[in-house]
Amino acid sequence: MVSMTTPAHVDRIVVDPEIRFGKPTIRGTRVTVADILGWLASDMSFEEILEDYPYIDRDDILAALEYGASASGGRRVAS
């Protein structure tokens, strides 16, 4: 079980004011957590996302899900 207070993949998410106006992004990319959550919400599969964006991996998608879950729970997510 993954603790929501210390997400296992939190090191994959970065917040840098110089990248995408400081939105949480996957490290080393310009792909935001919101991008990934939106793609999943629009019924894209992990496989489709990975095919369209080969520079991210499955753990990056999981990190975005963890970050979104933590953020929606009213908890602050440290990155």
Contacts of 64 (CB under 8 A, 6+ apart): 13, 26, 33, 36, 37
pLDDT mean over 66-70: 89
- Size (the chain), residues: 79
pLDDT of residue 2 exceeding 60: no
Looking at residue 4, its pLDDT comes to: 45
Q: What pTM was estimated for this model as a whole?
A: 0.81
Domains of the chain and any CATH numbers: 10-72 (1.10.10.10)
**Which stretch, 5-9, 59-63, 69-73, has highest mean pLDDT?**
59-63
Instruction: Dump pLDDT digits (tens) for 18-65.
Output: 999 999 999 999 999 999 999 999 999 999 999 999 999 999 999 999
Cα 68 to Cα 77: distance, rounded to the nearest angstrom: 9
CA-to-CA distance for 77 and 57, rounded, in angstroms?
A: 21
